[in-house]
Structure 1
Amino acid sequence: MRKTNKRAVPQRPIAAAILAVAALHASIAMAGDDDHRGHDRDNNHAHAIKHVMLISFDGMHEQDVARCIASNTCPNIALLAKDGTTYTNAHTPGLSDSFPGLAALVTGGSPKTAGLFYDVSYDRTLYSPSDSNCTGPQGWNVVFDETTGIDAKNGGALTHLDGGGAFNPQAIPHAKVNGVCKPVYPHDYVKTNTVFEAIKAGVPNARTAWADKHAWGYDWLNGPSGAGVDDLMRTEINSIDPKTQTDYTDVYTHTEVFDDLHVQALINQIDGKDSAGTASAAVPTLFGANFQTLSVAQKAPVAKSGGYLDASFTPGTQVSAAIKYVDASLGRIVAELKQRNLYQSTAIVVTSKHGQSPADHSKLVKNGDTLSKLLQTNNYLDPNGNYGQNATKSGNLNDGTGLVNTGFAQTDDVGLIWLRDQHQLAQVVKTLKDNLSCNAPGICADGPYAYLLYGPRMTAAFGDPREGRTPDIIVQPNPGVIYTSSTSKDAEHGGNAPDDNHLALVVYAPGGKHAGGTVNDRVLTTQVAPTMLNLLGVDAKRLHSVVAEGTQALPGFDGDHGHDHDRDHDRD
């Protein structure tokens, strides 16, 4: 494979933050599925790749892969890289929370088209869960996290691994669709289709599967059809483990117990069973899982051997052990593929939804949520914090009793602001600009890599806030800033800091044509989705986000690469 050694051109901070997103937003009309009927697979030919597996080791940076391969501490990732292609310059499209991070991988789109900005966000067009007639005020804090399962109803304890086995009706808002008031489940909330739907439409008798960290919040992977994933494993990482009486995020070794469930699910599926291993099922055409162990180790306080030792991503004790764990997990999965004679017909993508910031602990700043406090103090949001999850009348999170039309601020190592009154945009921006320093009451966004995004640049990159879903303002603070006073974590994600968005990406495709290849061109994780479809001989234009944003497959996988069946219809 052609090896490239292109160097990224230095960019101004704000331009660098949005260029990758804005550059891909092409004004291309949506293509209907009917235009692609019969164009995806020529069934008169044998197709070498029958399955694609997507693995997200959340938090894994490109630097983690480079270091562990060089030090021989991740032999299974190294073998996959030797057999495949490593992308050294892969980035998320503007935001790095789990929702937009995974949406990039499975829709081919940024938040502008997929409509997912965070698992906890805001939508001005929605009605409250209790407003089943859509007659009250609009504007709802959408919370699709661990509280989306029925266990959380009325603030209940998360006692079941499967989240209680159903949706929490108090977490499901309403929308008026063609004059009819309807509930908005997570699969209704995502604005475009997913690779799971596209593959089921493009591959006869295709089966799909996925496992993630929240049992019901990740229902959006089904896509607007509500049926994209045949085997969506319902596992809740924040449920209480009866053996420890804690959830699975308290320490990385406990997270391994949770992630082992996903390893076993993949092994079961490779063996011709469902994720639970209780029923026979065809090996999925597209399947995969999310893993949280590394992310938990990265967030752990440096004082407790979490995180990294320096700016060079030298792993601390917990991160080092977590990388060994995820590598061994990959080894178990690949070994099962080989045992079942599936390795030569299964493409594997190893990447991450997001990174973690900061790796360099000396840059860590935790002054509390100064951004929300500044907004409250100036009455742009309720001065007493009565908005978002804190606005519930009962005091229980996400139980449907919240206030409506309050505006919202979502903060981690980024700030997403939905104003209570959009007419105050200019005034709010001035207040923020007047308080950029790290000194009280400043928001610590005065460095060369910090920026405020709003107005026409926001619309170009993420959509028009006036349509209801897009934040009015995004605040990217100085890299290393986390809007919290918590002592339980020294790293976070969600924003567009370098440690957030520069991710691991290794693609193995059977056949060896690209074995050992390294691509240094800048790519986006949105390019994974059309790549997976190309590998299976499915027209990538089945994905609405791919059409809308002009998303291309990854270099080396954007055309015919040695398979027998006719791919002419996949290239225009």
Structure 2
Amino acid sequence: MKKIRRWMQVQRVVGAGVVMLAGLHAQGAAARDGHDHDHDHDAVKHVLLISFDGLHQQDVARCISSNSCPNLALLAKSGTTYSDAHTPGLSDSFPGLAALVTGGSPKSAGLFYDVSYDRTLYAPSDSNCTGKQGWNVVFDETTGIDGQNGGALTHLDGGGAFNPQAIPHALVNGVCQPVYPHNYVKTNTIFEVVKQNVKGARTAWADKHAWGYDWLNGPSGTGVDDLSRTEINSIDPVTHKAYTDVYTHTEQFDNLHVQSLIDEIDGKDSTGHSAADVPTVFGTNFQTLSVAQKATVANGGGYLDASFTPGPQVTAAIAYLDNALGRIVSELKQRNLYSSTAVIVTAKHGQSPTDHSKLVKNGDTLSKLLEANNYLDPNGNFGQANTNSGNPNDGSGLVNTGFVQTDDVGLIWLRDQSQLSAVVKTLKDNLSCNAPGICADGPQAYILYGPRLAGRFGDPARGRAPDIVVQPNPGVIYTSSQSKDEEHGGNAPDDSHLGLVVYMPRSHHAGQTIDEPVLTTQVAPTILRMLDVDPDLLHSVATEGTRTLPGFDREQF
């Protein structure tokens, strides 16, 4: 709790509005001053954002000190390392990336998970918006048309189009309209702001799902000029397996993104087939480390102890990522772009638990408890848990059922919101790890609901925010899977404490480490500041008062 108290003290000093996440996490929001600043307009023309999913700050510190990530070490030597960077409360890929590119937490961005729920939406088949409301929104690998009717994911590009069965509907000004991922995100992105405010700007991004990450385009639908359509869950025609089966296979998928970046640096599009300007803002996501972390300790995955000593797979994965970073930076230097390109290395999320002795896998006891007490269908027949094909997004999911999303966190959208008090009582009566308990009886566990949840994540009555957030004891994963020993999505310490290294050309603070607590939401306004664009043009930044990273405020630029 010492670190949390220090977090609160820092936020009070800067005049932030502090909202507690049940005593475990705080969101800092500090209005920036209005002073003019001197900016070398030639210093930064491009910003490259790289997410090594799963990268903890402890991974960064350990690999630099042991000289096992020489390329990241060189970047840190020329840049700024933030030793106390955290996600804004939830650590799934969607809210994690949204923090980096919108400057907002789930409260303003509206993204809680790639699989979530919205009470205001109608089913994909309800094109007139005349049926029941309340849809389990699934924007993952099945968002591509390959997933239609539960089909096999046979194409790297997800089939080349959206799966119409994945796209719900909403009444907008009395008109029933489809809700694509870019309609689902509630705020704009750095890609939109840069395109609108930097003359001749071009934007690009590559991620793990070909169509689910359409939300990066922002509400305009056009924020990313070159959104690489690559699907990690597609079937590799050589191995006949998805790219997530083993970390060495994931490397092959991530190599596609390395090549896309190199092509973009070389003045081509992400396919390498057409000429294009070097993007003003561009970047990608890497999955190799995440896959290695999730792999069971028995098979060489994860970490060896509570000190983040990497096991064989994680050791190799970090070496791979560092080599990939070296290739990218080398290309920037070869094309004489390194002196005009800012490079940010961080992660959407960490992974939990790194200390294998804390691992608890009792199955999805949270969902079972809700079902057993008739808060959700007792046969598990809610949301898209029971579809005609057995796969999500085949269009046959049920409407208005409520939903629960679990990994190392539990997000609960109640079928009947009037049952909130009864559900909370049931949860509190079953906090232990003994059946039918939910393993939330430790000092770092909590159940968030009511006004405190609304203040942190938004009012559930408006449709998007969950009614209840359950953070179990660190180390608990609501699964019985035998294939993974770590997960993410919640606010456990290992989920939320991330690596963050920022290199900016001609910086006066090269090689510094900043220990002040920061949030990953602060990356987005910092990117705009680097490009001499007003950060408040990001709606989430203006709404939440997100400040730039320390060392990149106006008077220090």
Residue of structure 2 in register with 1:93 after alignment? 88
Shift of 1:48: 1.3
Q: Could you list the per-position Cα deviations for residues 453-497 of structure 1 after superposition, in whole angstroms to 9, with x for gaps in the alignment?
A: 000000010000000000000000000000000000000000000
Q: How far, CA to CA, are the matches of 1:510 and 1:11 in structure 2?
A: 30
Q: How far, CA to CA, are the matches of 1:553 and 1:24 in structure 2?
A: 10
Among 315, 324, 328, the residue aligned to 2:323: 328
Q: Could you list the per-position Cα deviations for residues 183-211 of structure 1 after superposition, in whole angstroms to 9, with x for gaps in the alignment?
A: 00000000000000010111011000000
Shift of 1:8: 5.7
Among 508, 520, 540, the residue aligned to 1:545: 540
Q: How far, CA to CA, are the matches of 1:379 and 1:460 in structure 2?
A: 28
Q: How far, CA to CA, are the matches of 2:518 and 2:89 in structure 1?
A: 12
Question: SS at 2:342's partner residue?
Answer: strand
Residue of structure 2 in register with 1:524 after alignment? 519
Q: Does residue 302 of the first structure (1) align with residue 307 of the second (2)?
A: no
Query: What is the correspondence of 1:147-296 to structure 2 with a 5 Å cutoff?
Result: 147-296=142-291
Question: SS at 1:511's partner residue?
Answer: coil
Residue of structure 1 in register with 2:470 after alignment? 475
Question: SS at 2:328's partner residue?
Answer: helix
Q: How far, CA to CA, are the matches of 2:102 and 2:26 in structure 1?
A: 14
Residue of structure 2 in register with 1:382 after alignment? 377
Give the residue type in structure 2 aligned to 1:353: K
Tell me, yes or no, if the aligned pair for 2:27 and 2:88 is still in contact at 8 Å: no
Among 85, 88, 107, the residue aligned to 1:112: 107
Give the residue type in structure 1 aligned to 2:85: A
In structure 2, relative to structure 1, the CA distance for the partners of 1:365 and 1:19 (3 Å cut) is closer
Shift of 1:389: 2.0
Question: SS at 1:390's partner residue?
Answer: coil
Residue of structure 2 in register with 1:459 after alignment? 454
- Structure 2: runs of 5+ lacking an equivalent: 9-18
Tell me, yes or no, if the aligned pair for 1:380 and 1:421 is still in contact at 8 Å: yes
Q: Does residue 58 of the first structure (1) align with residue 53 of the second (2)?
A: yes
Query: What is the correspondence of 1:481-520 to structure 2 with a 5 Å cutoff?
Result: 481-520=476-515
Tell me, yes or no, if the aligned pair for 2:247 and 2:289 is still in contact at 8 Å: yes
Tell me, yes or no, if the aligned pair for 1:207 and 1:284 is still in contact at 8 Å: yes
Q: Taking structure 2 as the reference length, what is the TM-score of the superposition?
A: 0.95
Question: SS at 1:388's partner residue?
Answer: coil
Q: How far, CA to CA, are the matches of 1:398 and 1:523 in structure 2?
A: 37
Tell me, yes or no, if the aligned pair for 2:430 and 2:436 is still in contact at 8 Å: yes
Give the residue type in structure 2 aligned to 1:135: T
Tell me, yes or no, if the aligned pair for 1:41 and 1:203 is still in contact at 8 Å: no
Q: How far, CA to CA, are the matches of 1:101 and 1:21 in structure 2?
A: 16
Shift of 1:41: 12
In structure 2, relative to structure 1, the CA distance for the partners of 1:67 and 1:154 (3 Å cut) is same
Give the residue type in structure 1 aligned to 2:29: L
4+ residue runs over 6 A deviation = 39-42
Shift of 1:326: 0.3
In structure 2, relative to structure 1, the CA distance for the partners of 1:535 and 1:11 (3 Å cut) is closer
Residue of structure 2 in register with 1:364 after alignment? 359
Q: Could you list the per-position Cα deviations for residues 428-456 of structure 1 after superposition, in whole angstroms to 9, with x for gaps in the alignment?
A: 00000000000000000000100000000
Tell me, yes or no, if the aligned pair for 1:95 and 1:495 is still in contact at 8 Å: yes
Q: How far, CA to CA, are the matches of 1:109 and 1:556 in structure 2?
A: 20
Shift of 1:102: 0.2
Question: SS at 2:284's partner residue?
Answer: strand
Q: How far, CA to CA, are the matches of 1:443 and 1:393 in structure 2?
A: 30
Q: How far, CA to CA, are the matches of 2:298 and 2:424 in structure 1?
A: 37
Tell me, yes or no, if the aligned pair for 1:20 and 1:524 is still in contact at 8 Å: no
Tell me, yes or no, if the aligned pair for 1:95 and 1:117 is still in contact at 8 Å: yes
Q: How far, CA to CA, are the matches of 1:179 and 1:41 in structure 2?
A: 48
Q: How far, CA to CA, are the matches of 1:272 and 1:301 in structure 2?
A: 41
In structure 2, relative to structure 1, the CA distance for the partners of 1:40 and 1:518 (3 Å cut) is closer
Give the residue type in structure 1 aligned to 2:354: A
Shift of 1:24: 2.6
Shift of 1:345: 0.2
Give the residue type in structure 1 aligned to 2:5: V
Q: How far, CA to CA, are the matches of 1:306 and 1:507 in structure 2?
A: 28
Q: How far, CA to CA, are the matches of 2:21 and 2:222 in structure 1?
A: 37
Q: How far, CA to CA, are the matches of 1:361 and 1:185 in structure 2?
A: 39
Q: Could you list the per-position Cα deviations for residues 476-521 of structure 1 after superposition, in whole angstroms to 9, with x for gaps in the alignment?
A: 0000000000000000000000000000000000003120011000
Question: SS at 2:257's partner residue?
Answer: helix
Q: How far, CA to CA, are the matches of 2:497 and 2:514 in structure 1?
A: 14
- Structure 1: runs of 5+ lacking an equivalent: 1-5, 29-38, 563-572
Tell me, yes or no, if the aligned pair for 1:40 and 1:202 is still in contact at 8 Å: no
Tell me, yes or no, if the aligned pair for 2:41 and 2:532 is still in contact at 8 Å: no
Residue of structure 2 in register with 1:535 after alignment? 530
Shift of 1:47: 2.4
Among 401, 404, 407, the residue aligned to 2:402: 407
Give the residue type in structure 2 aligned to 1:550: G
Residue of structure 1 in register with 2:311 after alignment? 316
Shift of 1:22: 4.5
Shift of 1:559: 1.4
Q: Could you list the per-position Cα deviations for residues 51-72 of structure 1 after superposition, in whole angstroms to 9, with x for gaps in the alignment?
A: 0000000000000000000000
Question: SS at 1:232's partner residue?
Answer: strand
Tell me, yes or no, if the aligned pair for 2:20 and 2:27 is still in contact at 8 Å: no
Q: How far, CA to CA, are the matches of 1:7 and 1:114 in structure 2?
A: 27
Q: Could you list the per-position Cα deviations for residues 20-60 of structure 1 after superposition, in whole angstroms to 9, with x for gaps in the alignment?
A: 5544398x9xxxxxxxxxx9999xx7421100000000000
Q: How far, CA to CA, are the matches of 2:338 and 2:405 in structure 1?
A: 42
In structure 2, relative to structure 1, the CA distance for the partners of 1:41 and 1:246 (3 Å cut) is farther
Among 323, 327, 333, the residue aligned to 1:338: 333
Q: Does residue 125 of the first structure (1) align with residue 125 of the second (2)?
A: no
Q: How far, CA to CA, are the matches of 1:173 and 1:372 in structure 2?
A: 24
Give the residue type in structure 2 aligned to 1:9: R
Among 392, 396, 400, the residue aligned to 1:397: 392
Q: How far, CA to CA, are the matches of 1:95 and 1:304 in structure 2?
A: 28
In structure 2, relative to structure 1, the CA distance for the partners of 1:526 and 1:464 (3 Å cut) is same
Give me the CA root mean square deviation.
1.8
Q: Could you list the per-position Cα deviations for residues 299-331 of structure 1 after superposition, in whole angstroms to 9, with x for gaps in the alignment?
A: 000000000000000000000000000000000
In structure 2, relative to structure 1, the CA distance for the partners of 1:448 and 1:481 (3 Å cut) is same
Q: How far, CA to CA, are the matches of 1:427 and 1:245 in structure 2?
A: 48
Shift of 1:11: 7.8
Question: SS at 2:554's partner residue?
Answer: coil
Q: Does residue 24 of the first structure (1) align with residue 26 of the second (2)?
A: no
Q: Could you list the per-position Cα deviations for residues 71-91 of structure 1 after superposition, in whole angstroms to 9, with x for gaps in the alignment?
A: 000000000000000000000
Q: Could you list the per-position Cα deviations for residues 188-238 of structure 1 after superposition, in whole angstroms to 9, with x for gaps in the alignment?
A: 000000000010111011000000000000000000000000000000000
Tell me, yes or no, if the aligned pair for 1:153 and 1:168 is still in contact at 8 Å: yes
Q: How far, CA to CA, are the matches of 1:11 and 1:455 in structure 2?
A: 24
Q: Taking structure 1 as the reference length, what is the TM-score of the superposition?
A: 0.93
Question: SS at 1:159's partner residue?
Answer: coil
